[in-house]
Structure 1
Amino acid sequence: MGQDLAPLSSACVFCGSSDLADPQLLADAAQLGRDLAAAKLKLIYGGGGVGLMGACAIAAHEAGGEVLGIIPHFLKVRERRLDVVETIVVSSMHERKQIMFERSDSFIVLPGGIGTLEEIVELLSWRRLDLHAKPVVFYSPNGFWEPLYALFKHTVDNKLTPAEFMDSWISVDRVADIIPALSGVRPTEPIPESVVASMT
């Protein structure tokens, strides 16, 4: 991936919308929101005020960051549309995902359920088809996404997916590593001073 952080101006966050999520995951999502604001990366997200996505958006907004939500009209009540941030109301899930993709320079995947899985599989499929080369970072605390990675590897081992697909994302297990990873800095590498400086 290897992009510098400087050209990036926005990050789309895919994550769970359940308020029943582990409180630590909700706290992690809020910390990411504050980190995005500090890095001056506009948060693009699903427009709701619930679950991890709500925690991330509210924290980013309260920290002075730019936030754009995109929500289908039929989810405005169920996902409690967050009216304190700029929000685009669309007619379908497809339109929501398309705008999220078009408005974002990079993507962050936090723990989530079936809806998050649907979003990220499409995102990675588009990357497999060379429709984009935007950086994708998974936050995988306690190995949350390891079963998904194993499934991807299973398709590679069976020669149904090219081996290079496994390089389509970076996985980190600390919130502090998410934004540096957007520039291609893997968590086992020291973070260059230029990257650290650009986040302050």
Structure 2
Amino acid sequence: MYKFSSICVFCGSSFGTSPVYREQVKKLGSLLAENKVKLVYGGGNSGLMGELAHAVMSNGGEATGIIPRKIYEQVDHLELSELKIVDTMHERKALMYELADAFIALPGGIGTMEEMFEVMTWNQLGYHLKPLGLFNIDHYYDPLHQMLYHMYDQGFVKKQHLDQTVIQENAVELLQRLNQQEVTSIDKWE
């Protein structure tokens, strides 16, 4: 049993170049449904985002999509447990963060990175103490991991902040490690 009942997942609205991304995202969606962990996500039906929500819903799980009106009017939609339409991207992210007990970033593009970094920043500044995991499918996050530790080496990030982010290549192990992860407040300026 997990200590979190909902996970916000950031992911691409494209499939990427490797079929392994889709395969692993389907596994994650099935795991969330089987373990009764509610998915909170961006509300879209395309790419990995849609694949994940479809896997959750088709396995009897719950998914809440949060989508800005502008995007809602441009994309197709899945039948979800709940779809919330908001006016801005800022509202979308704030509501996603509020509804989630933990976060996972899947492979994705600029939007995925922006959301993931904002969660890391909020943790670093003490706005929340919720665990974040990077689902390192096919070593997608290896270059980012190197960059983050380069930031540490250069004195811009504390190692304790970096160590609070779980990086894992296996969905089962990712969820287990997120469940065990203790996120503590660390003074950024000390």
* TM-score, length of structure 2 as denominator length: 0.89
Q: Supply the distance in 2 between the matched residues of 1:24 and 1:89 (Cα, whole angstroms).
A: 31
Over 3 Å counting, the alpha-carbon distance change for 1:21 and 1:58 in structure 2 is: farther
Q: Supply the distance in 2 between the matched residues of 1:20 and 1:166 (Cα, whole angstroms).
A: 26
- 1:45 is matched with 41
Q: Supply the distance in 2 between the matched residues of 1:50 and 1:58 (Cα, whole angstroms).
A: 10
Percent of aligned positions that are identical: 38
2:27 to 18, 24, 31: 31
Q: Supply the distance in 2 between the matched residues of 1:142 and 1:20 (Cα, whole angstroms).
A: 12
What does 1:73-88 correspond to in 2, within 5 Å?
Answer: 73-88=69-84
Instruction: List per-residue Cα deviations over 1:102-137 (Å, max 9, x = no partner).
Output: 000011111111110000011000011111111111
Offset, 1:21: 4.4
Offset, 1:80: 2.5
1:94 to 90, 96, 104: 90
Offset, 1:31: 1.2
- Asked whether the 8 Å contact 1:70–1:100 carries over to 2, the reply is yes
CA RMSD of aligned residues (A): 1.6
Secondary structure at 1:170 match in 2: strand
Give the aligned length. Answer: 181
Asked if residue 149 in structure 1 is aligned to residue 139 in structure 2, the reply is: no
Over 3 Å counting, the alpha-carbon distance change for 1:79 and 1:124 in structure 2 is: farther
Structure 2 unaligned runs (5+)? 182-190
* TM-score, length of structure 1 as denominator length: 0.85
Structure 1 unaligned runs (5+)? 186-200
Over 3 Å counting, the alpha-carbon distance change for 1:116 and 1:79 in structure 2 is: farther
Q: Supply the distance in 2 between the matched residues of 1:179 and 1:124 (Cα, whole angstroms).
A: 18
Secondary structure at 2:180 match in 1: coil
Instruction: List per-residue Cα deviations over 1:141-198 (Å, max 9, x = no partner).
Output: 232111112221122111122221221211111122222122127xxxxxxxxxxxxx
